[in-house]
Chain A
Amino acid sequence: MLTIFNLHARVGDNEILKGVNLKVRAGEVHAIMGPNGSGKSTLAGVLAGRDVFEVTEGDVLFDGKNLLEMDPEERAREGVFLAFQYPVEIPGVSNTYFLKAAVNAIRKHRGLEELDAMDFMNLMKEKLKILHIDEDLLKRPVNEGFSGGEKKRNEIFQMAVLEPRLCILDETDSGLDIDALRTVADGVNALRSPDRAFLVITHYQRLLNYIVPDKVHVLFDGRIVKSGGKELALELESKGYGWIEEELAHAARA
């Protein structure tokens, strides 16, 4: 579904991604871990099309299409969803209104008819039920006055409603207490399906106790330096990131 080949990206003169390679198949959950500043959020931003990041080299294919050529909204309509690390507030705009505009923009792109108010409400209610979220959320303005946990939960709710094919979770666990973390993880697990892939970006292993990944990658200094199964996350948890650095240095000397 997603193929990232030799991806380089920078902000200004500062090169952050220095040749990332990654392959994600439908139905898989990949975790991207790494220390602060390794380029995790940059990778998420580049995939979503945030324009502060300049891609200098490499390719990204999504379902065979060149993702990097698309505008951010086109990527979204094609099925790429980013759960933001810091969800943005849009005062005065209700979640319902916001999501209806989004759903219909996506449906239009896919040649489907726009949903009318009734069908849309049914869709919303169905998704609320799956995620065990109170209906109250629909009337509230997008993220305005939300607690950190509520914001993250709203991201997962939006993800459920928009039914993307590729879900990128950018440090969704940051700032969450254990209960909120569990709720968010339950939501993600409820959305796992054979034709949907997840890229879970996280600093800590604890989220991966709840969202069990098929593969774990370590991003270090702009490159994926180590890949493995879910046990790699546990190893990182107990040993920290330092040993990877040593290993790399060792490899360089050899």
Chain B
Amino acid sequence: MSTATSTIQELANREYQHGFVTDIETDSLPPGLDEDVIRTISAKKNEPPFLLEWRLRAYRHWRTMPEPRWANVHYPPIDYQNIVYYSAPKPRKKLSSLDEVDPELRATFEKLGISLQEQMRLTGVAVDAVFDSVSVATTFKNKLAEMGIIFCSFSEAVREHPELVRKYLGSVVPYTDNFFAALNSAVFSDGSFCYIPKNTRCPMELSTYFRINAANTGQFERTLIIAEEGAYVSYLEGCTAPIRDTNQLHAAVVELVAVGRNSHIKYSTVQNWYPGDKEGRGGIYNFVTKRGKCLGENSRISWTQVETGSAITWKYPSCILQGDNSVGEFYSVALTNHYQQADTGTKMIHIGKNTRSTIVSKGISAGRGQNTYRGLVKIMKGADHARNYSQCDSLLLGDKCGAHTFPYIEVRNPTARVEHEASTSRIGEDQIFYCKQRGLSTEDAVNLIVNGFCKEVFRELPMEFAVEAQKLLGVSLEGSVG
């Protein structure tokens, strides 16, 4: 075995850094799902009747659906009756400032390195922290409110802005869309809501840190972002979760609606959920439906994701390009190490004229990781002069991992132009030796090479996030060439 390889394998034994459990009294329902559970969730959250109805319709529809099996991922059957569908930390009292936040909770955030105060003070990021299904801290809200921007937890939006929720909830991802979206629609607990009014540019990056804490708690987040004419918002989602033995299901739904002309929504994710241990035990199942709709002319939706966590990732952030001249973008880095599996990609549905989409996907497989890109580019009949450019690159570290690419292209308009480029490469001993000969350690060499590979995606991330993403990639890659 070469020195480079053995050094890297020694580094492999580093444990997941964010593995700890916060001991907070939890208010949970017993495991299991039926209509009563849904009624209880809805009642606990004081929801209006229309929402309960919607949840129940979703549930009834879900019961008629078979669980999909087409993804290139493998996992034992999930017992949906053995999942806790509602879990909320009991707030000691209603919070008016950060100082009143549960000290245990604050300590958890400190361990993750996301001190809310620091975040606010140094970066100007307003953080809406979702902690096991209930939003605990929402900040900077007043400042945003002055501009007419609404940024709050989903529950709060249901209470304060039911008309907006009613109008847009399910308008991009209907509950009939797929098995996991239906389940989410029935039981979703909380999430984030964001509304940017006409001609308003959101002055700061909006950010939510999700964290799954209580054991066996399925997480069903719901996020809805709406941008009116000429509005712009950049939204960041970042995640970590503590070590667990049993697999945890996470089935979120994110809906983006670029309603007006020239609206632009930029959605960036850094996902670092517990990937399971080195033998592939435990870890999060991340089965997420993310979709955006460009309704307005010249509107634009950009997805950027860095996926390094979860035992299984199964997601396709997509764009429906309905408005003429609208633009959809997807920039992705997906990394699988040890026994992680990822089946991810995007769908670009071109409906309007002169719609354009760009797909840049970078898959990194290490250890025994399996990485699949699956993407659909669909040009509808009326999408005159639509254009798509797709680039899918795979990087392999070691010889026990796999990379797979499934590009689907459907073109129904002869004026469309669709380009697809793909490449697969292996990190070479030669590259590593070259770096070492210049004084870099093996670990630094691998990080450097992988970061170079991901550069086109990282430069789409907001600055602070890009730095975080690079570090995360470094941590996730430890022990990866073998």
Contacts and interface: CB of A to CB of B under 8 A. Distances in A.
Interface of A: 48-51, 71-73, 75-77, 81-82, 84, 87-93, 97-99, 101-103, 105-106, 109, 141, 158, 162
Given A91-B453, A92-B453, A84 B444 contact: no
B454 A92 contact: yes
Contacts of B4: 51
Contacts of A76: 436-439
B448 A90 contact: yes
Contacts of B430: 88
Nearest to A77: B439
Contact of B449 (A49, A77, A90): A90
Contact of A88 (B434, B441, B442, B455): B434
B65 interface: no
A84 B434 contact: yes
A48 B441 CA distance: 14
B197 to A, nearest CB: 39
Given A90-B448, A93-B452, A73 B439 contact: yes
Interface in B422-447: 428, 430-431, 433-442, 444
Interface of B: 2-4, 428, 430-431, 433-442, 444, 448-449, 451-456
A89 B454 CA distance: 15
Nearest to B447: A101
B452 A101 contact: no
Given A87-B434, A101-B444, A105-B444, A92 B439 contact: no
A71 B437 CA distance: 9
Contacts of B438: 76, 98-99, 102, 105, 158, 162
B440 A102 contact: yes
A118 B3 CA distance: 35
A90 B441 contact: no
A75 B438 CA distance: 9
B437 A48 contact: yes
Contact of A92 (B2, B428, B433, B456): B456
Nearest to B459: A92
B431 A90 contact: yes
Given A105-B439, A109-B439, A72 B453 contact: no
18 contacts: A49-B436, A51-B2, A72-B436, A76-B439, A81-B437, A84-B434, A88-B433, A89-B431, A90-B431, A90-B435, A90-B452, A93-B451, A93-B452, A99-B438, A101-B440, A102-B438, A105-B441, A105-B444
Contact of A90 (B2, B434, B444, B454): B434
A174 B345 CA distance: 44
B451 A71 contact: no
Interface centre among A50, A73, A91, A106 (most CB of B within 10 A): A73
A92 B441 contact: no
A140 B254 CA distance: 38
A50 B432 CA distance: 11
Contacts of B455: 92-93
B186 to A, nearest CB: 44
Nearest to A92: B452
B436 A71 contact: yes
B403 to A, nearest CB: 17
Q: Which of A51, A72, A81 has the most CB of B within 10 A?
A: A72
Contacts of A105: 438-441, 444
A32 B117 CA distance: 63
Contacts of A91: 452-453
A93 B440 CA distance: 14
B428 A73 contact: no
Nearest to B430: A88
A115 B469 CA distance: 24
Contacts of A71: 3, 436
Given A75-B437, A109-B439, 15 more contacts: A51-B4, A71-B3, A72-B433, A73-B436, A73-B442, A77-B439, A84-B434, A90-B434, A92-B452, A97-B448, A101-B444, A102-B435, A105-B440, A158-B438, A162-B438
Contacts of B436: 49, 71-73, 76
A75 B441 CA distance: 11
Nearest to A93: B452
A73 B440 contact: yes
Contacts of A141: 452
A109 B444 CA distance: 15
A233 B104 CA distance: 76
A98 B448 contact: yes
Contacts of B456: 92
In this complex, the member of B430, B452, B455 whose beta carbon has the largest number of chain A beta carbons within 10 angstroms is: B452
A226 B14 CA distance: 53
B451 A92 contact: yes
B448 A93 contact: yes
B430 to A, nearest CB: 5
A81 B451 CA distance: 25
A171 B453 CA distance: 29
A72 B454 CA distance: 26
B439 A162 contact: yes
Contacts of B453: 91-92
B439 A93 contact: no
A215 B383 CA distance: 72
Nearest to B3: A51
B449 A93 contact: yes
A236 B201 CA distance: 74
Nearest to A102: B438
B432 to A, nearest CB: 9
A67 to B, nearest CB: 13
